[in-house]
Structures are given as structure tokens and as C-alpha cells.
A and B are shown apart, each in its own frame.
Chain A
Amino acid sequence: MAKQANKLVIVTEKVLLKKVAKIIDECGAKGYTVMQSGGKGSRNVRSSGQPSSSDTEANVKFEILTENREMAEDIADKVALKYFNNYAGIAYICSAEVLYGQSFCGPDGC
């Protein structure tokens, strides 16, 4: 069986890593995955492999699975309001079906 879930994806600047993680925790999400990322957007190409002695160019991508859509929207709103005026960032929701995952489905599985 699979359990319906919302996958919230937030791509933003690496300098915000800890701050976004804090917001996600505060909103009550059970967990998240972060990966390094890069690409092109409204603020030019970021993390395109240029050498850099500081971390201001790097991006991160958060993936958060939530049971209800409200929590996902809550997280996205809080992050976007606080940071997206001044930092590069995008947030979107996909629907997902969780197959395995103890913290999400409980000890008995999905």
C-alpha cells in the first residue's frame, strides 16, 4: 500500500540552509532531505561550477514530505515571506505516494 503525501520542494540559497531547516522543524514536519543544487533563474546562473572561495553562490534543494497540504503551504509561506524578497528561491508542491519510511508511515509500514 502507499500513503498519499505532499512533497514540498524549496530551492534556495545555501546561506539560508539552517534558517529554512529551522522553519521546517517549527512547522512540525517529520523530516526533510537537503541536497546541493544549482541552476539558472531570475538571479542569473547559480552554482554553475565556477570556482568560489565563499559559499554565497551555492544553492540547496529541500524536499519535505507532509501528510496534509496545509503544513506544506505553511512552510512555503513562512519561508517565502521571510526570505524570497531578498534571496533567490522557489517553492512548489507535488503529490507523492510514500511506499516505505518508518517516520512517515509508522513502524508497521505504509
Chain B
Amino acid sequence: MDFVSLFVKDFILQLQSPTLAFLIGGMIIAALGSELVIPESICTIIVFMLLTKIGLTGGIAIRNSNLLDMVLPMISAIIIGIIVVFIARYTLAKLPNVKVVDAIATGGLFGAVSGSTMAAGLTVLEEQNIQYEAWAGALYPFMDIPALVTAIVIANIYLNKKKKKSVAAQSIKEESLSKQPVAAGDYPAQQDYPSTRQEYRSQQQDPDDNRVKVWPIIQESLQGSALSAMLLGLALGILTKPETVYEGFYDPAFRGLLSILMLVMGIEAWSRLGELRKVAQWYIVYSVVAPFLHGCIAFGLGLIAHYTVGFSMGGVVILAVIASSSSDISGPPTLRAGIPSANPSSYIGASTAVGTPIAIGVCIPFFIGLAQAIGGI
């Protein structure tokens, strides 16, 4: 009962916190059809500021801390990133009306980390005066990159297998098809277009055309706007002394900018909801359950680190929060390029419309409540 009351208390507190309030506010005004638009370039700069601040905090902290403490949480982050994709592959992908590639892409996105969710989590921990390792934000890439790489690799392995199977079947079909007259006669563009395309196809059939290369995926994630901002902050924090700009600019502006980003995400979540409804309903179930499941796995692994190397309970909460978050800034373009045949409406819809609000609104207070019940912080 102790846990339940703590959780309920936290949840109500969280509802009143600016982070969630702006998120819900965004959803409400979008639902009411408001014309409010925050320019995209402002979102870009906000994401840059938030992640640079997280990077700087981490970098400054790493300078004064023992790097060995980071190893176990880091390994946990990598394991979670990979496991999450396999969970989606063997649960979501088996459900009716769900295409396997879509499911894998969704898993990849849910395994990847949302910078804004992490920022919200850090803010709530600070508001409640819960101690955590300042470098915990630096766990971000260790979960983000493995998840995206795993998703893209297993999706391509799956597609290649499927292709090999269908090539055999197609060669038989093609003969019978070529004898059929073209049915779409009233569609003039189609008449000569397919023939050139097919000619091209046959010329372009490279046998190793579809082999997945892991390095470009890693490179692309590192070059993404969110991660490069964070890594830059991290490097500057470690190598230079950015304390003056940090205290004068990045730190004070952090919460205000986060509230704007939350508003945008609320509006975006609402506008994506309609798109998600068009794909299978199971995505909604998955994106409600998955953040909890992933967070609990991370919480378990974090607890192991807590008891063995003294990873703080605040750090465990952060690990759980980043596991329950789903990428919304850098993940989608990477997946779009890596698994082009997956339907972006399904995975971006699942993540933005349901996954992120659940992670921010429910998972953060849930894991803080859990940590308080177990660790007594």
C-alpha cells in the first residue's frame, strides 16, 4: 500500500509539473483545432540547447568521477537497447494485421532514446531533490545506437530472407503474367513506365545489393542532430571549462525551453493519433505496455548495478526512464532511411502519439515511486 500511495501522490504532483502540464496543454489545444504553430527551426534550436546542456552536465560530472562506475550501467543500457527490439520482433510482429518490418521498426524506435523524455525525467528528479549521477544522461547513446542498429539489421535480414523465398516463386509467376494484357488501359502513364522500370530492375540486380552495413547506421545516428549536440556538450564538459556559459545560459534556460518542446510534442502527439488509428489497433496496445515493460527491465538491471557498484537510485530511475522513452527526434529519420519499406505512420505514430506521452506522464512518476518504495529515497 505504501507503494501505491507514493505512486498516486507522485502522479498527481507530476500532473501539476510544468513538463506534463504543457504536454497535455498541447494535446488539448490541438484537439480543439488551434492554429498555434511553433516554427520548426525553434524546435531544432531547443533540442540542441537541451541536449547540449545534458551533455555539458555529464561532461563536467565525468571529469570528477570514477569512470569504472559507468561500466555496468553502460552495459545495461546496451543490453536493453538490443532486447527491446527482439521483444517487438517476437510479440508485436506476431499480432494480427501487423507487418513484421513495421513491428521491428517500432521496436527500434521504442528502444531508442528520446532526449526530451530524458530531459523531463532529469527535471522531475531535480524538482524532488533526488540524487543521481550527473553522467547518467551520457547513457543515452549506449541505448540509442544499439537499438537502431539492431532494428535495421534484423529488419534487413528478415527482408532478404523473404526476398529469397519470393524470387523462386516469382520466376514461375512472371511467365504467366507476361501473357496477360495490361488491365489499366485508361492510365496512360503506366503503359510505358513499367517497361523501363523492369528493364532497369533486371540490370540492377546486384546479388549483394541488400547486405546491411552496420557502420553507416552508427555513423548516421552519431551525426544526427540530437546525439551530436549531446556529444559536443559532453566533450566540451570534459575537455574545457564551460561553467560560466553553463550557469549563465544553458542551465537557467533549460526548463523554459523544455516546456515549449513539451507543448510541441503534445500538439504533434494529437495530430499523429489519427494516423495511428489507420494502421492496426495493436500498435496502441503495444505503445501503452512497452514503455512499462522496457522500463521495468531497465529498473531490474539498474538495481543490480545499484547493489553491486553503488549506482544511485536516481540513476536507476533515469536508466528506467530512458528505456521507457521512445525516440522522436533522431530515431525516425534513421529508421526511415534504414528500413524504407516500413510504414512510418505505424512506428512514428506509435511512438509520438502514445509512447512518449505514456513515458513522460506515467512512467516517470511510476519509476520514481518504485524507487522510493524500494530504496527509500
Question: Footprint of B on A, CB under 8 Å?
Answer: 13, 15, 44, 49-56, 58, 77-78, 80-81, 83, 85-87
Chain A residues, Cβ within 8 Å of B348? 54, 56
The 8 A CB mask of B251-273 against A (1 = contact, 0 = none) is 00000000001001101100100
B: residues with CB less than 8 A from A are 37-38, 40, 43, 47, 116, 196-197, 200-201, 204, 261, 264-265, 267-268, 271, 275, 328-333, 336-337, 340-341, 344, 348
| Chain A residue with Cβ nearest B356 | A53
Q: Which residues of B contact A54 (CB under 8 A)?
A: 328-333, 348
Contacts of B271 in A (CB 8 A): 50
On chain B, the residues within 8 Å of A55 by CB distance are 333
A53 touches B340 (CB 8 A): no
| A15 CB → nearest B CB, Å | 5
B340 touches A52 (CB 8 A): no
Chain A residue nearest in CB terms to B38: A51
Query: Which A residues lie within 8 Å of B47 (CB)?
Result: 53
Q: Could you tell me the distance between the alpha carbons of A58 and B197 in the complex, rounded to whole angstroms?
A: 27
Contact of A51 among B43, B275, B336, B344 (CB under 8 A): B43
Task: Report the separation of the CA atoms of residues A44 and B332 in the bound assembly, to the nearest whole angstrom.
Answer: 18
Interchain Cβ contacts under 8 Å between A and B, 21 examples: A13-B336, A44-B275, A51-B37, A51-B43, A51-B267, A51-B268, A53-B43, A53-B264, A53-B265, A53-B268, A54-B332, A55-B333, A56-B336, A56-B348, A58-B40, A77-B197, A77-B200, A81-B197, A81-B200, A81-B204, A83-B340
- Interchain residue pairs A-B with the least CB separation, the first 4: A86-B340, A51-B264, A56-B332, A54-B332
Which listed residue, A51, A56, A86, touches B341 by the CB 8 Å rule?
Answer: A86
Q: Is the interface of B mostly helix, strand, loop or mixed?
A: helix
Is the pair B268, A80 in contact by a Cβ cutoff of 8 Å? no
Residue of A56, A58, A80 ringed by the most chain B CB atoms within 10 A: A56
Known contacts A51-B40, A56-B344: does B328 contact A15 (CB below 8 Å)?
A: no
Chain A proximity of B229: nearest CB distance (Å): 13
The docked-state distance in angstroms from the alpha carbon of A43 to that of B294 is 32
Give A44 to B348 CA distance when docked, in angstroms: 15
Does B37 lie within 8 Å of A49, measured CB to CB? yes
Q: Is the CB of B116 within 8 A of A53?
A: yes
B328–A53 contact, CB under 8 A? yes
* Chain B residue nearest to A83 in the complex (CB): B340
Query: Is A53's CB under 8 angstroms from B337's CB?
Result: no
In angstroms, Cα B341 to Cα A15, docked, is: 14
When distances are taken between beta carbons in the complex, the residues of chain A under 8 Å from B336 are 13, 15, 56
Q: Would you call A53 and B200 a contact (CB within 8 A)? A: no
Of all chain A residues, which has the CB nearest B261?
A: A53
A15 and B333 form a contact (CB under 8 A): yes
Q: Which of chain A's residues has its CB closest to B344's CB?
A: A56
Chain A hits for B116, CB < 8 A: 53
Complex Cα distance, B329 from A53, in Å, reads 6
Residue of B nearest to A44 (CB): B275
CB distance from B117 to the nearest CB of A (A): 12
Not counting A50-B271, A80-B197, A85-B340, a sample of 18 additional A-B residue pairs whose C-beta atoms are within 8 angstroms of each other reads A13-B336, A44-B275, A51-B37, A51-B43, A51-B268, A52-B40, A52-B43, A52-B268, A53-B116, A53-B264, A53-B328, A54-B328, A56-B348, A58-B40, A78-B200, A81-B204, A83-B340, A86-B340
